[in-house]
Chain A
Amino acid sequence: MTEKHFEVIVVGGGHAGTEAALASSRMGCRTLLLTQNIETLGQMSCNPAIGGIGKSHLVKEIDALGGIMARAADEAGIHFRTLNARKGPAVRATRAQADRALYKTAIRNALEEQPNLLIFQQSVDDLLVAGDRIEGVTTQMGLSFYAPTVVLTVGTFLGGVIHVGMEKREGGRAGDAPSNRLAARLRELPFQVGRLKTGTPPRIDGKTIDYSELESQPGDEPRPAMSYLSTGEEHPRQVACHITHTNEKTHDAIRAGLDRSPLFTGEIDGVGPRYCPSIEDKVVRFTDRSSHQIFIEPEGLNTREVYPNGISTSLPYDVQLDLVQSIKGFEQAHITRPGYAIEYDYFEPRDLRTSLETRYLAGLYFAGQINGTTGYEEAAAQGLVAGINAALSVKEEGLWCPDRSQAYIGVLIDDLITLGTKEPYRMFTSRAEYRLVLRQDNADRRLTAIGRKLGLIDNDRWRMFSEKEAGIGALSKEMASRWVQPGDAKFENHLGKPLSREYNLLDLLKRPEVEVESLLSLAGLPDNNAGVSEQVEIDCKYAGYISRQQQEIDRVRSQHGLGIPKDIDYSGVAGLSNEVSQKLHEVRPETIGQAARISGVTPAAVSLLLIYLKKHKASAALKSA
């Protein structure tokens, strides 16, 4: 390799790193992706699934901004389901089981085809720092590469320790080496480091499972898709998942092994996710449950291996075997890879700016698991934002990050940098106060135009998007101008009651029981783009709620958009209590809105800040005049 100087260097080829590298290179920046092993680009460390509640919202937002995750999931997805299908559109979500190999191939192809992007298999050991700026990185072979911006996305690899029973060894994930040099180097810098923990279940050879008694769960038909570009045609062959359960025998086996559990003997002190407890955790904490559900997920089309979702564990191997074989269908099961827990370093995310640039080293960005999150989608979302901002900073343009009312990505980043996290952070729809506006069906309408301006959206996607937008406008106009008269038997039969007066089609669509397809067919209007008529229907049904949330968004924006100077000295703000000024000092919010979301910062404190800023600004203006 002759080139030594780049505009953006991305370290780590996981879900965060690949999105970051694709985004910055798509925005025209010469980008280098350094990763331990090219074979593991886009590797799913844990379960072979993309999406789910709250997560497919992120995936579709990434897609709307030109990211790769959704398209890779469509190319690799072997089982698709719409979750919450019977609830409203705001909380509907899509999940795909992915063939691991196909997924990796899709990601790797996209990276290889991407202009401006160079991939190099190297582990990074050191960061090159000059004053308070990053200048580049050095790899384990002693090669140095230089760039004004570096995006670090090394996942669970920093000081990674893998636990199986009372045995522990160093590792970044099963089969991969940890990044200990880099971890030590980062600990020398002023970052605040903590430890988190996560776990994974044993994998099982599908040949040894007796499926005859197990409930089968096929994917949905018609098959949902992840990407706005997909038609569902690109999906490979589809397969079913299966469901089984633990039982009292399983729980007995687990209880018998607790004295050798690293979780319960204090070996592990990293904090694990509350919503993704290990099976031993579930059995200990919920003693009244005599059974827990297990989803058996295929790992791929060309392997028999399966992923038993629901029995993540770090119990010793012999206990794992006992507990697995006590489960219906698994009596003869062969474990292909033992389950394990992993502990790793993460960095206090409140030390990040909204651009995901670190406070301590200009030009250095952190994204993914190292910021205290868990999940491929959460990692990819941060990677995208970090990649975008690295590119923006190279181009000397202002930073960009969606706010809480624009995207789940905005909720994710705002939560991280404002509130921090004490456990691995996962997205849930209940974290979004503007849930009715932030839907998976309208991520493109929320973000694609912004992505186009940023340089992330190619012409094909832009044309498709523009056509859809135009279609939505045209259809709602058409429906608003079509009137149905009282006595119109076709409509009254369908509605099951007479019309009291003249209604247009949009008015009728507001009724909870009326569906857009039937309305269009009754009116003799073509319904040639389901994406378009769906948007018209949702806009119409949620209209009241959407406009209320929109008002609230406008109100908050107008009151809270005001920026706070980086160098503000909170001890000089009249009236602020020590406790509040301490909190503000720790988080260093960038706007009044972010300050208001810090717990303990009262409305009165916000008023005091506003007054201070006003006075400050006036006196600064005076000085410069």
Chain B
Amino acid sequence: MYEKDTIVALATPLGKGGIGVVRVSGPLVTDIANGMIGGIPEERIATFTSFLDAGGSPVDQGLALLFKSPRSFTGEDVLEIQGHGGPVVMNLIVERVVELGARLARPGEFSERAFLNDKIDLSQAEAIADLIDSASNQAAMSAMRSLRGEFSRKVYHITESLVQLRTYVEAAIDFPEEEIDFLEDPRVNSGLDALIEKISDLKNEATQGALLREGVSIVLAGRPNAGKSSLMNRFTGTDTSIVTEIAGTTRDVIDEHVHLDGVPIRLIDTAGLREGGDPIEIEGVRRAVKEIDQADFVLIVVDLGAHREDLNSHVEQLMYEIPNNAPYLVVLNKSDIWQPTTVDLSCEYVLTSAVTGVGIDVLKGRLKEGIGYTVGGEGTFIARSRHLDALQRGLEALSKGKTAFADSRAGELLAEELRRCQLALGEITGEFTSDDLLGRIFSSFCIGK
């Protein structure tokens, strides 16, 4: 049923030292092996090898494992690539596999194929359905987070320019008897150039910037004195943030790039949330709220020492105050001072002490899961690479269209490439149908008899 498509994804969480597995499944597997490692590894035998980029130079080294259909997880030819270059390098490997003809797998798609190819028992149908359902919901949320802020603004801007260009080109094709020949309009050429430039700029920016340098943003939030800055310093191993016993110490946003077992993250310390205070603190709280709003993940820090009597209601109050559109985790800090004997919170939590270091490893583990370097689940990092992949395909279509148009003034070939570009961008911004396009034509031009 799926014999046509080859899919690829990061298959495991990135463990210690950043070892990760990229899994490829489908008919192109042997071609991809040839392109990636310059040969086809022997079946079911782990081969130590270099992974090559398009120019043939190694990006990473590790193990490659080939499983031939039907004796594989999915029932199709499967290639597993184990690298240890951390997420950035693993991502390069995934990109290379896509270049060689695969597409990024949808959440849960490997299991889906395994099921459809009789590799998983029929009684597991519900479980697979659940997996697909939850994984794609998670992916949808991650995609929304990846789309926030500047990136989103630019993508929408690009889509809008594309739609405008298509409006011209398609109108020229479907309404040639209107009084203007849109294809002769210099705006088509200049629009095309501008669009190509905008997409490549955004792609470059997103590749070097947001994705790789900044990583996923994690915000520490809570009441003053909860121990946010102390936790921050635990993570960074420095004393970036000032820690004092005075409530309201931190008054501005402080961020620091750290690696969590090779996963790049951007940790953000904020001012403790409370009403009132001097103008500086009020501004600090305003900034904290803004960061929380844009975060990929929020750590809600609670001072156990100060809330022995009212832990539940305090946590509830905090959750109410903190906008919860991003995933979060409640951190019950200062566990060295006091620990409740039973905790009956309705949300996920960890117990930590920023002073003794107890619970910090558990916290890191939960964080990694939460930001999505886990099997099946999709975090912002992967969501962003899906977006980059879509931008790349859009860009390729545009350059082809430009060539076709220059060579033969063939409007229909340009139109075809613009349509493909729109399909690719539509994976980020949502579908734009041919009827939507016609609607734009009719509202832009006075057309018709």
Contacts and interface: CB of A to CB of B under 8 A. Distances in A.
Interface of A: 47, 53-54, 83-84, 87-88, 90-91, 273-277, 282, 285-286, 289, 292-293, 295, 309-310, 312, 419, 428-431, 433, 435-436, 512-513, 545, 551, 554-555, 558-559, 562, 574-575, 599, 602-604, 607-608, 610-612, 614-615, 618-619
A275 B108 contact: no
A555 B172 CA distance: 30
A231 B125 CA distance: 60
5 contacts: A88-B411, A295-B449, A551-B4, A559-B1, A611-B116
A348 B416 CA distance: 31
Contacts of A610: 1, 112, 116
Question: Most A CB atoms within 10 A — which of B2, B130, B434?
Answer: B434
Contacts, number: 144
Contacts of B408: 88, 512-513
B128 to A, nearest CB: 6
Nearest to B181: A86
Given A83-B177, A429-B174, 20 more contacts: A47-B449, A274-B439, A276-B449, A293-B179, A429-B173, A430-B170, A430-B173, A430-B415, A430-B434, A433-B419, A435-B412, A545-B413, A558-B2, A574-B126, A604-B136, A607-B108, A611-B125, A611-B129, A611-B132, A614-B125
Given A293-B179, A611-B125, A275 B419 contact: no
Contacts of A293: 177-179
A543 to B, nearest CB: 12
Contact of A608 (B2, B133, B446): B133
Given A430-B434, A610-B116, A83 B446 contact: no
Contact of A604 (B3, B5, B107, B412): B107
5 tightest CB-CB pairs across the interface, nearest first? A604-B136, A575-B133, A512-B408, A574-B129, A286-B446
A53 B108 contact: no
A614 B126 CA distance: 12
Interface string B1-36: 111110000000000000000000000000000000
A558 B136 CA distance: 23
Contacts of A312: 449
Interface string B103-126: 000111100100110000010011
Contact of B435 (A309, A419, A433, A555): A419
A271 to B, nearest CB: 13
B114 to A, nearest CB: 11
A88 B413 contact: yes
A44 to B, nearest CB: 14
Contacts of B434: 428, 430-431, 433
A274 B442 contact: yes
B107 A618 contact: no
Contact of B106 (A430, A599, A604): A604
Interface residues of B, number: 52
Contacts of B446: 277, 282, 285-286, 289, 292
A570 B136 CA distance: 19
B438 interface: yes
Main secondary structure of the interface of B (DSSP, over half): helix
B176 interface: yes
Nearest to A84: B176
Given A53-B175, A429-B173, A436-B412, A275 B129 contact: no
Contacts of B172: 87
Contacts of A574: 125-126, 129-130, 133
Contacts of A275: 438, 442, 447-448
B412 A90 contact: yes
Contacts of A618: 122
Nearest to A604: B136
B346 to A, nearest CB: 24
A555 B101 CA distance: 14
B437 interface: yes
B3 A558 contact: yes
A169 B129 CA distance: 57
Given A575-B133, A608-B129, A87 B411 contact: yes
B344 interface: no
Contacts of B437: 430
Contacts of A614: 115-116, 122, 125
Contacts of B173: 53, 84, 87, 91, 429-430
B310 interface: no
